[in-house]
């Protein structure tokens, strides 16, 4: 059995293979950011296609924390049953499902006021209001409420979105956090308190992931060693989903597997398992990353948009046998 199709276990999370559908915003939510039949088909198709895990797109913990008006939110109880139905259906295909809890901060393009650690606009966007201490505490509580709903919906794991220049990343980065209070002096404090609040409602036996921008592509921003230092200040994290960029409008020179070195650094120095990717479209390349110990899981984004059945084809490319959905056996 090839590593890409080997099992992965983390606490009570059990993945049948190491292919993860990356969280990708679909901008297709119904009114009040509700999950729709379109989302159900979109995600369940990838489950039928054989992925080991699905991470739902960035799902805001408060309305003003959405990236756009078309994004999902988890600040309403009505969402619980909708998500529960998806999770149950994916489990029939032995696919685990996680949800990425998020707040866009200064990168929100929703109507009304937007908020950030400091009143610094993202290039070309509106200037945010500086969060008060009361506002910070309210958002932390919102992450906790969303985690409680995630448990009620039956999600297998939670991923906290601390990457791509969104709110938590804005607190972590010296480029966007110019505060002089405790949340500026200790830039990891906001993430630390979010994790603590989430853990009040998220069972200790369930995995908690955090997505980070390991490289901010600015000399004055965070780099992999900085992220490692931050991670060592935190507890309660079970896996790091490694990405990069998004804090500024710097155009990243992306190429297949360009983020894998960041994953290797974090995995080695922070002593945590990692999920990694970045324009990986080839099964053999993914297998090599795992063989070299540079990541524990491989996430695929665009490739799974193009081809929901990528895992079935990847198994063939690697010369390994996996179970196809019984309804599709005639096509094998």
β-bridge partners, 96: 53
Residue 288 has pLDDT above 80, yes or no: yes
> pLDDT tens, 37-78?
999 999 999 999 999 999 999 999 999 999 999 999 999 999
CA distances from 52 to 4, 156, 200 (A): 10, 12, 27
Can you tell me the distance from the alpha carbon of 40 to that of 177, in angstroms, rounded to the nearest whole number? 37
Q: What is the mean pLDDT of the chain?
A: 97
> pLDDT tens, 183-234?
999 999 999 999 999 999 999 999 999 999 999 999 999 999 999 999 999 9
Residue 93 has pLDDT above 80, yes or no: yes
Q: Mapping DSSP to helix (H, G, I), strand (E, B) and coil, where does residue 151 land?
A: helix
Percent of the chain at pLDDT > 70 equals 100
Task: Please give the pLDDT value at position 283.
Answer: 97
Average pLDDT of the segment spanning 77-106: 98
**Pairing label, strands 239-243, 13-15:** unpaired
Can you tell me the distance from the alpha carbon of 5 to that of 298, in angstroms, rounded to the nearest whole number? 11
Residue 284 has pLDDT above 90, yes or no: yes
What is the number of helices (H) and of strands (E) in the chain?
A: 11, 12
Task: Please give the pLDDT value at position 128.
Answer: 98
The pTM assigned to this predicted structure is: 0.97
Can you tell me the distance from the alpha carbon of 187 to that of 168, in angstroms, rounded to the nearest whole number? 9
Average pLDDT of the segment spanning 92-118: 97
* Domains, the chain: 3-331 (3.20.20.70)
Task: Please give the pLDDT value at position 1.
Answer: 76
Q: Where are the alpha helices (DSSP H) in 189-294?
A: 189-201, 224-232, 260-269, 283-291
Task: Please give the pLDDT value at position 32.
Answer: 87
Percent of the chain at pLDDT > 90 equals 98
Task: Please give the pLDDT value at position 211.
Answer: 98
Task: Please give the pLDDT value at position 159.
Answer: 99
Average pLDDT of the segment spanning 84-92: 98
Task: Please give the pLDDT value at position 219.
Answer: 96
DSSP assignment of 283-320, as one string? Answer: HHHHHHHHHTTS-SEEEESHHHHH-TTHHHHHHHHTT-
Task: Please give the pLDDT value at position 242.
Answer: 98
Residue 237 has pLDDT above 80, yes or no: yes
CA distances from 239 to 11, 64, 109, 208 (A): 11, 28, 30, 7
């Amino acid at each position: 059995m090839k590593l890409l199709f080997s099992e992965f276990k983390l606490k009570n999370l059990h993945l049948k293979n190491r292919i993860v559908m990356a969280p990708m915003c679909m901008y297709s939510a119904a009114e009040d950011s509700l999950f729709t039949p379109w989302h159900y088909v979109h995600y369940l198709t990838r489950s039928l296609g054989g992925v080991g895990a699905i991470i739902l797109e960035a799902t805001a913990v408060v309305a003003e924390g959405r990236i756009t008006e078309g994004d999902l939110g988890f600040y309403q109880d009505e969402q619980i049953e909708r998500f529960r139905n998806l999770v149950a259906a994916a489990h029939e295909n032995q696919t685990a499902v996680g949800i990425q809890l998020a707040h866009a901060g200064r990168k929100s393009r929703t109507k009304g006021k937007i908020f950030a650690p400091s009143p610094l606009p993202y290039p070309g966007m509106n200037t945010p209001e500086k969060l008060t201490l009361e506002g910070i505490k309210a958002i932390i509580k919102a992450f906790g409420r969303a985690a409680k709903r995630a448990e009620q919906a039956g999600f297998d794991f939670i991923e906290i979105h601390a990457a791509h220049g969104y709110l938590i990343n804005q607190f972590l980065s010296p480029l966007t956090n110019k505060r002089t209070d405790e949340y500026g002096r200790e830039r990891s404090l906001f993430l630390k308190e979010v994790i603590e609040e989430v853990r009040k409602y998220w069972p200790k036996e369930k995995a908690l992931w955090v997505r980070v921008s390991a490289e901010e592509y600015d000399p004055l921003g965070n780099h992999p060693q900085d992220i490692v230092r931050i991670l060592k200040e935190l507890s309660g994290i079970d896996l790091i989903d490694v990405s990069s960029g998004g804090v500024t409008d710097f155009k990243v020179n992306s190429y297949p597997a360009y983020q894998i070195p960041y994953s290797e650094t974090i995995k080695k120095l922070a002593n945590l398992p990692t999920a990694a990717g970045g324009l990986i479209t080839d099964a053999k390349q993914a297998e090599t990353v795992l063989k070299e110990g540079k990541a524990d899981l491989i996430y695929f984004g665009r490739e799974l948009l193009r081809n929901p059945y990528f895992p079935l084809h990847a198994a063939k490319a690697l010369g390994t046998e996996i179970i196809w959905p019984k309804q599709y056996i005639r096509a094998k």
